[in-house]
Structure formats: structure tokens, C-alpha cells
Chain A
Amino acid sequence: MSFVKLTTSALALTAMAATAAVARDQVQVAGSSTVLPYASIVAEAFGENFDFPTPVVESGGSSAGLKRFCQGVGTEHTDIANASRAIRDKEIKACAENGVTDIIEVRIGYDGIVFASQIQGPDYTAFTPSDIFNALAPQVMVDGALVDNPHKQWSDFNADLPAADILAFIPGTKHGTREVFEEKVIAAGCEATGAMEAMIAGGMSEDDAEDACLSVRTDGLSVDIDGDYTETLASIDANTNAIGVFGLAFYENNTDKLKVATMSGVEPTTESIAKGEYPVSRPLYFYIKKAHIGVIPGLKEYAQFFVADEVAGPDGPLAAYGLVSDPELADTQQMIADEETMGSNS
């Protein structure tokens, strides 16, 4: 009976696969979609430069990646979780419950975004998150009441800002940068101006108010850019009054065309971002399961390659793609070499 034959061979195949699963030979990574581009660059270069197979990198978000990472030790679980934020205590606890205790935290660099405008344009030199919120939120506080955003010019709400029409080109929702922009600028402004409190007082639950704080106005004064920064730059070039959101590295390469605004008084530079002074930036991480080092071939080498000066340094391919390289990279390299886990010294 050919059906029987087919079914048996399929079962045999399944059994074979189950045995082979024990001997996974490639590094398996999952996590943040912000880290994914960098990880894919490193993974490709790793495959080209070493005799180990090219690692598999999945996205799906920091939380999803860490959750999978914490599911246990063994080849059916991922080796590395990429994250655009530090691991939370709750997650460390969840990890420990599943036997994942020795975790190596690797900071690969920083992701910083800046607000820039045409070099001959109006004097946008200093912003605070409240200014950006007042300009771009759908509902803002005017005279102590929450109303639909009436502002048309920057000077409408802050006399220090130029009397120029509001127009902002911000990263589209599919950009990782959008999240930083929402969390560090819009949400911060929402809280600072008291709009969030007003929303909660108006009967919204805290979660709903937090979500409402992340939205931007939809009347055309805030424009989503889904392409790369080149497109944002082209839009800025065509609109004298506009401000745009750029990656720091991109801005630094276009200082002849763009001038940057300070955020809460801090000028965005590699140093201020690396020190954490500039508010609109975040460190990017990946987490290694120490128990897998030596079991999965190439895991330690991949981690070391990722943070090597040639890769994550200021002249490496990651910086060329927009990562702000970490000035403390040497410490990180040493940490991986020593397989120093979280909590072993801090």
C-alpha cells in the first residue's frame, strides 16, 4: 500500500529530524527589530569571515525575543536575544525559573535620534519634549484644559521658538526609531505638559492614557516618512520651515545641509549619547545564554565578532549603517572574553 509507505517514510523523517535537532550547529538569535539590521549585517559578515555557518536572526520585538530566550537551556531554545532595552527584573526572574541563570549582557552601541532642520531655515536651536508634544500631539493642554491641538506655529505655545509654521517629518510606524521618538519625546512631553494627568482625570484608564500619549496629529502637519533618512532630507530641503528626525550618524554626514537642535539643552553628539545625557537615545543590547557557549559552535566567536573594533567600532560597518558606537567597547570585549555574567560583579 503506497499510502502506508508514504506515511511510514514521513514518520521516519520526523524521527530523523528529532535526532538531528540535538546537533544544531548554527547560532540562533531572536529579538528586537531595531537590532535586526545590525545583527543581519554581522551575521552575514560572520558567515563570510568564519568557517561557522551563518547565524539565523529572527525579529519579533525585544519582549518576544527575551521571552523565547528565557524558555530554557537546550538546543531547541535560542542562544541570543536582541533587545533595544535592558532586560527587566521580571524577565531575569522568569529566566531563572526556567534554569536560564547565567546571562551575559552585551551592549553593542547606541541608537540616537536628532531633530534637524534646513541650515538657512528658522532658528530651531533648542527643543524640549514638551515643545515637540505641543506641536505634534492631537490633543494638548491649553489654559489648563485638554483641547484639540490648535497650534499652527511654534511661537503659539513657546515664545522662545520662531514664528514659523509647524511641519515635522517623523519616522513612519515601521521604523524602530519611531518607538524612541514616541517614548522619549512625545510621551515625555505628554507627561511634562500635564496632558496625561488631564486624560486620566477625564476618565481614561492609565494604560489608555499612556497609549493616547503616543499618538501624533493627523492633520498633515506631522508627516510619516517610511523610507530612509535620505527621503526625510529631501523633504526638509523642500520645506524651509520643516524639522525632521534623523539618525545621529546621518546628520553628522550632512552637517553642510542641516543644523541640529538641542533636546532639553543637551547637544546630540556621540559623547553625550554614549554618556546617556542626550535624552533621545537608547542603548542596544544582546543577551547570551552562557550555558550554550561551547555547546553551540561559534556562539562565543559570533559575540566577540559583533563587538570587535572592526565591526562595532566607529569605522566599522555598523557605524556606517547608523549605530553610535559605544566608547566602552573595550570593556564589553573583555567581558565576553571572560564570559562575565550579569550580577557577577554588579
Chain B
Amino acid sequence: MTDAAMTPDSAHPSKSLTHADERTKKRNAAERRFHAYGIGAICTGMFFLIALLAAILSSGLPAFRQAVVEVPFTLTQEQYDEAEKALLKTGKYTEYFVTSLTDAMESEGVEIEFDKKAIERLLGKVGGDLRAYYRENEDQLGTPVSFELAAASRVDRYLKGTFKREDLQSGNRFFMPEDFNLIDAMREAGLIKQVFNWNFLTGVDTGVDNPGGAGIGASVLGSFFMMLVVLVLSLPIGVAASIYLEEFAPKNRFTDFIEVNISNLAAVPSIVFGILGLAVFIQFAHLPQSAPLVGGLVLTLMTLPTIIISTRASLKAVPPSIRDAALGVGASKMQAVFHHVLPLAAPGILTGTIIGLAQALGETAPLLLIGMVGFVARYPDTFVEGFIEPNSAVPAQIYNWAARSDAVFTEKAWGGIIVLLLFLITMNTIAVILRRRFERRW
């Protein structure tokens, strides 16, 4: 630092401008140290951020790829009728598919010893997909259809390199050591390959024995509907409450009491709102369990204080001259607030709302009590049903997957975190765009 010597306006003028005295040197050193601390703090923060992102991406990105078995498959009318007669219909479909895959392997020239059991081990739960397809497309019976169906979780991990030959100490009913050779042979014949896992983004949760088929789509929708409820309820209520408290309410003990309580509410642990939601919305008001509507209502309670506090802060930040000017040219109090103060406070209000929503988006604890953490595997049929049909939420889904034993579910939990972050970034981007549009300077 060569400019250290050049500090001309010292409180105690030194004897020489070119040679700093002891005091000045000390002060300059203190300043340099402070700079270093600041840079150090930022670097530490950046390091953790990068480490976190790297960990999330490296663990989560594999969830977006999926090993599939691709094979042309023909289901005859007789097979279809027979399968539909069985109790476990999907089991029948799987059986047919295994047979057809075995034939395909012979015709593709896979020259390796294998039995049907081995094929079953390599396949995911294909029956459900097959049945769903043929129920929709009965006209496809008898004609060959090319299917891409999820392979078993260990096949998936082997192709991704997270499950290696040397990891397998001994075989079991899920996987035998010789299966590795079979996978290699099938990969060479083009029967097994890796594709982008659209199902992860669009699918629903699956049973613990079907990690390959699990998707986060339904819970993203659940989170979306919850956020909609939170936004629609907490923004108008929060803004109305803060405008009244800030601009109209008389300053007395009662309003002071309300103010203190709003601040206190902001600090209440979220699980408390969950208990409240269970008691009030489900048991008293008889709203449906596990529904995004109830989740949204609970999170609204949680978000309201945040929004009120930030809205009041941004209303306070509007210069009083704006109000005075509006009142001076004859506007009513309400006109002054709605035409002049509120538009100027809007950017701050939006920021507060987005922070509140982001907090609500990542919340799992209150959802636990209203039944949104569990096995929910369906999409709502209509927009209205989106609010009242049982659904999960993204953080709840991540929590669920992380607790399951299959490594593919853990991978999907990480993938879910990426989806959650993307959701959050989208929300923030919208906030930034809106803020830019409303922003006014004075």
C-alpha cells in the first residue's frame, strides 16, 4: 500500500507530509486491518456458499438422469384381458415385459447366461407404467410399442458410478455380482441407457420399493398452491393492517399492545402455528386434511407478522413531505395514502412479502401436524382441487426421501433441494422485476 504515506488531512498535522508520524501510521494500519477483516469475512462467506452449492449440485444432479430399459414390447388383447382379471394386475404386466425383454436380448445377440430372476432384479417397477399406458391406449394392443422404463435402483447407480463392482460384498435378492456383466452386455446391445429424467420433475411420490419412479412434480404443485394461498391472504391483510396501524390508528396503549404482539408473533416457532392449524382449521373448521389450503392458511399466520413489520418499515421510510404535499393540495387522508405513499412504499412491501414467502416455502414443521408430510402420490385434477386435495410440499417431500434407506432416494432428496432453490430463485426474480417497475426515487 503505497498510498498509506499520503494521508494529508490528519487531525494532528505531522511535521512532514511525506513521512507519517507514529499516530498516523497506527491509524492507517488499523484501517488496513479492518479492510482485511472485511475481505476475509466476505471470502469465508463465499467459500461456504460455493462449497454448499457444489455439494448440492454434485449430489443432486444425478437425480436428473435415470437408467432406463428400452425395448419394443407388444401386448396382445388376450394378455391384456388376462392381466385385467388378476388382483395384482401390474404384476402380470411386469411378467409379460420380462418375457418380452428376454426375447429381445436373444435377438439382440446378448450372449450371456441369465435367468428371469436376474431380469426382474434389473427392472424397476414397470407394471404400473405399462398398465397406465394400455388403459389409456387400448388401440395399441397387438402393435409393438417402444417403452423406456425405469431400471432398478442399483442399475441406475451402477451407470452413474455411485455403485461399483467392488462395493458389492455379496449378492442378495436385490442384486447378484453376476448382474454387473449382464448390465454391461445389455448396455452394449443398447437395451439399457441413461436418459434425462423427466419423470423426476413431473412424477409423483412412489412406494419405498420403487425409487426409480419417484418424482417431485406433485409436491411442487402443492407448494405452488400453498404459496398462492399465502400470497392472496397475507399480502392484503398484512398491508391493510400496517397501513391502518401506521397511518390512521391513534397512538395509544391499545395500539402499542398490538404492535408489541405483532413483533412477538414474528418470533413464534413455526411448529406452534402447526398445532394451531390442526386445532382450528382441521378439527374445528373441518377443512380437509393434508390439503394445500390448510397448509397455506397456517403459513399465512406465520408470514403475516413478517409482512406487517416490513410494510410498516417501508411506509415509515416514505418522506413525510409526500404526505404533507398531498394533503396540502386537498387530497383526503386515504387518497394521500393510496395514491402517493403506498406506491412509493411498494418496493419495500414486495421485498418483505417475498422474504416472508421464501420462509414459508421452506417450512416443514407446521406441515407435519396438518398431515402434509407423508405418502401422497397424486396430482389434483382441477385448479380448485389443487387447494383441497391432499398434497405434499417440496420440503416435506425432501424430508421424506432423505429418511428412506435406498440411496437413490437420498439422491432424489438432493435433487429436490435443487428444485426448491430454483423455485426460490424464480420467486425472487419476480420480486426484483416488480420492484424495478414500481421503484420511484425522490
Contact = CB atoms under 8 A, between A and B. Distances in A.
B387 interface: yes
B216 interface: no
Q: Sort chain B's interface into a size bin.
A: 35 or more
B242 to A, nearest CB: 12
A241 interface: no
Contacts of B404: 37
B286 A237 contact: no
Interface centre among A54, A227, A237, A316 (most CB of B within 10 A): A54
Contact of B207 (A45, A53, A71): A45
A20 interface: yes
Given A41-B209, A44-B210, A233-B170, A58 B128 contact: no
Contacts of B233: 7, 10
Interface centre among B174, B283, B390 (most CB of A within 10 A): B390
B329 interface: no
A17 B291 contact: yes
B208 A41 contact: yes
Contacts of B237: 7
A65 B403 CA distance: 19
A58 B403 CA distance: 14
B95 interface: no
A317 B86 CA distance: 15
B352 interface: no
Interface residues of A, number: 59
Interface in A45-95: 45, 47-49, 53-54, 56-60, 71, 74, 76, 78
Nearest to B291: A17
Interface in A300-327: 305, 308, 310-311, 316-317, 320-321
B283 A45 contact: no
Contacts of A37: 207-209, 404
B123 interface: no
Interface string B287-300: 11111010000000
A14 interface: yes
Interface stretch (A101-109, A131-139, A187-195, A250-258): A250-258
Interface stretch (B106-114, B260-268, B368-376): B368-376
Contact of B289 (A6, A28, A227, A320): A28
A76 B282 contact: yes
A191 B304 CA distance: 52
Interface string A1-25: 0010011011001101110110010
Interface string A22-49: 0010101010000011011111110111
Nearest to B400: A59
B88 A56 contact: no
Contacts of A60: 368
A174 interface: yes
Interface of B: 86-91, 127-128, 131-132, 167, 169-170, 172-174, 204-210, 229, 232-233, 235-237, 239-240, 282-283, 285-291, 293, 368, 371, 373-378, 384-385, 387-388, 390, 403-407
Of all A-B residue pairs in the complex, the 10 with the closest CB atoms, nearest first, are: A58-B374, A41-B207, A48-B128, A310-B88, A44-B207, A57-B375, A228-B405, A37-B208, A3-B236, A40-B375
